[in-house]
Structures are given as structure tokens and as C-alpha cells.
Amino acid sequence: MHEEQLRDALNAHWRASAAGDLNAEHDIYGDDAICEYPQSGERILGRANLQALRGHHPGKPSGFEVRRIQGEGNLWVTEYSINYQGRAAYTVSIMEFRNGKVVHETQYFSESFEAPGWRSQWVQQSA
């Protein structure tokens, strides 16, 4: 699959995820895909388990924004934020493709934090 097609597949995936369309969201994954959450030490084996896990999430996201997608070949990174119950979770998704499907994904999640005052002279607030 060419890079343009992978980018299109990623855009469709993130749009479906933002819309809550579980079937379309998971079309991008191979049947035996692995998804890892290093911060919690979890590994989800298979597209069916990943879709079921996300479909049973008790705090459905109330907002979703892709900041950027960057990649080449079979390795793509998406930086985005998800709003859960009024709080943003800043997220990075690293996806590895084989034959046009995601075979491995690693997701990192981070909550926002207050910027310390001591560095204000060197920074600009972005949001």
C-alpha cells in the first residue's frame, strides 16, 4: 500500500474513532493486530478484543482532535487529544502496517499539567 493510501486509511480511522463508529474505526486493524498501552502494562491481542474493549469503555470520549499524522513506509505516528469527562488526554499512537493493515500499535496517554512559573520567561503558552 502506498503512503498516500495509508494516510487516507489513517484519516478514515481517526474520523470514525471521533464519531464513535466502532466498525469503521477498527477496519484499519489486521485480525491478529496487537495494541499495547505501556503505561498500564496492557497488551490487547486481536482486532476483536480491541474493538470489544473500546466498545465497553465506561467514559466514552466527548471530544477528539488529531494534531498531526507523520510517517513513511510502514511506520506512522499520530498525535491527538481525547476528552474524557471534561479532561484532555494527550495521546501518541504509533502504528506499524503490514499489507495495508495495522499489525502493531502502541499508545501513550498523558494528562495536561500546569506549567511551572519559573520557566515563563523562555516559553510561550500555546493553548
pLDDT, tens only, 31-44? 999 999 999 999 99
Residue 19 maps to a domain? yes
90-125: pLDDT as tens digits: 999 999 999 999 999 999 999 878 889 999 999 988
> Structure pTM?
0.89
Residue 127 maps to a domain? no
Spell out where the chain has E strands.
Answer: 29-37, 42-45, 63-72, 75-84, 87-98, 101-111
The CATH number linked to 41 is: 3.10.450.50
39-87: pLDDT as tens digits: 999 999 999 999 999 888 877 767 789 999 999 999 999 999 988 778 8
Instruction: Tally the domains of the chain.
Output: 1
